[in-house]
Amino acid sequence: MGREALQAAIANYRGEEWKDDHEEGALICKCFAIDAVMIEEMVWANKLRTVQDVTNFTKAGGGCASCHEDIEAILERVLAEKGEKFDPEAPAAKPEPVVAAAKGPMTNLQRIKKIEQVLESLRPTLLADGGDVELVEVIGNTAYVNMTGACSGCQMAAMTVAGIQQRLMEVLGEFIKVVPASQMPKEAVGA
Ligand code: FES
């Protein structure tokens, strides 16, 4: 399936109309359908330094690894623009915990507070890209979020949701699933 067809399928699955409002770039990671523009933006916005950093943020490079050379080339180029040198041997950045990892089981209120803190810390990056995220509900280990702005409904939103989920799991120290609020159970919506 081509990239556009995949994006359209994702939108269709969510009952949304697909509209590609991102600048097109060369497809770099075929496993995850991620293009050069997206990787460049993520490297710029999130101070990524290594292929592993890029994989952690975008999933690009997390499959067959055949795109690693291309990702390195992007890192080299973008870091050079920032006046930095790409070091292929550099260790992957360990994300700074936004809040201390939880000790022992959390109450739902503690979980919600931590999730909100993590989302707040991620919002500047999303806002820079014309998007935003809002926590709607937390049921058990599932956080329902609203993605809004330029990226809602496009493939970026799917990847952003995956990135948010990964970050939350790092900070909360437990499995958490991030799901668009449109998929919230009807009982929870109170419809
Ligand atoms: S093409 Fe990127 S991981 Fe396979």
Q: Are residues 76 and 115 in the same domain?
A: no
Find residue 131's DSSP bridge partners: 149
CA of 57 to the centre of ligand 1 (A): 14
Best of 6, 27, 29, 55 for a ligand 1 pocket test (most atoms within 8 Å of beta carbon): 29
Whether residue 68 has pLDDT greater than 90: yes
Q: Using a pLDDT cut of 90, give the percent of the chain over it.
A: 15
Q: Are residues 74 and 118 in the same domain?
A: no
Question: What is the end-to-end Cα distance of the chain in Å, rounded?
Answer: 36
For the chain, state the CA radius of gyration: 17
Q: Are residues 112 and 178 in the same domain?
A: yes
Q: Are residues 181 and 116 in the same domain?
A: yes
CA of 69 to the centre of ligand 1 (A): 10
Q: Examine the fold and report which residue of 34, 62, 81 is the final residue of a domain before the chain moves on.
A: 81
Domain of 173: which CATH number?
Answer: 3.30.300.130
Q: Is residue 44 part of a domain?
A: yes
Mean pLDDT over residues 59-65, rounded?
85
Nearest atom in ligand 1 to the alpha carbon of residue 30 is 1
Q: Are residues 15 and 77 in the same domain?
A: yes
CA of 110 to the centre of ligand 1 (A): 37
Q: Distance between CA 12 and CA 6 in Å, rounded?
A: 10
Best of 6, 30, 72 for a ligand 1 pocket test (most atoms within 8 Å of beta carbon): 30
Q: Distance between CA 21 and CA 190 in Å, rounded?
A: 33
Whether residue 102 has pLDDT greater than 60: no
Q: Is residue 112 part of a domain?
A: yes
Band of pLDDT at residue 100, cut at 50, 70 and 90:
very low
Q: Are 38 and 58 contacting, i.e. CB atoms less than 8 angstroms apart?
A: yes
Residues in the chain: 191
Q: Is residue 90 part of a domain?
A: no
Return the residue whose CA atom lies nearest to atom 4 of ligand 1: 64
**Least confident piece of the model among 39-43, 64-68, 70-74, 93-97:** 93-97
CA of 94 to the centre of ligand 1 (A): 22
Q: Is residue 57 part of a domain?
A: yes
- How many domains are there within the chain? 2
**Least confident piece of the model among 36-40, 151-155, 164-168, 179-183:** 151-155
CA of 8 to the centre of ligand 1 (A): 21
* Interval 119-173: pLDDT, tens: 888 887 778 777 788 999 998 888 999 888 765 566 566 667 878 888 888 777 7
Q: Is residue 127 part of a domain?
A: yes
pLDDT score recorded for residue 99? 46
Q: Distance between CA 176 and CA 161 in Å, rounded?
A: 12
Domain of 30: which CATH number?
Answer: 1.10.10.1100
Whether residue 95 has pLDDT greater than 70: no
Q: Which residues line ligand 1 (CB under 6 A)?
A: 29-31, 60-67
More confident of the two residues 139 and 23: 139
Q: Is residue 119 part of a domain?
A: yes
Give the domain extent around 31.
3-81
pLDDT score recorded for residue 11? 60
Instruction: Provide the mean pLDDT of the chain.
Output: 77
Band of pLDDT at residue 3, cut at 50, 70 and 90:
very low
Whether residue 93 has pLDDT greater than 80: no
Burial label, 44 (beta-carbon count in 10 A; 0-12, 13-18, 19+): middle
Other beta carbons within 10 angstroms of residue 5's beta carbon come to 11
pLDDT score recorded for residue 24? 57
Q: Are residues 126 and 73 in the same domain?
A: no
Q: Are residues 14 and 67 in the same domain?
A: yes
Q: Are residues 114 and 66 in the same domain?
A: no
Q: Is residue 68 part of a domain?
A: yes
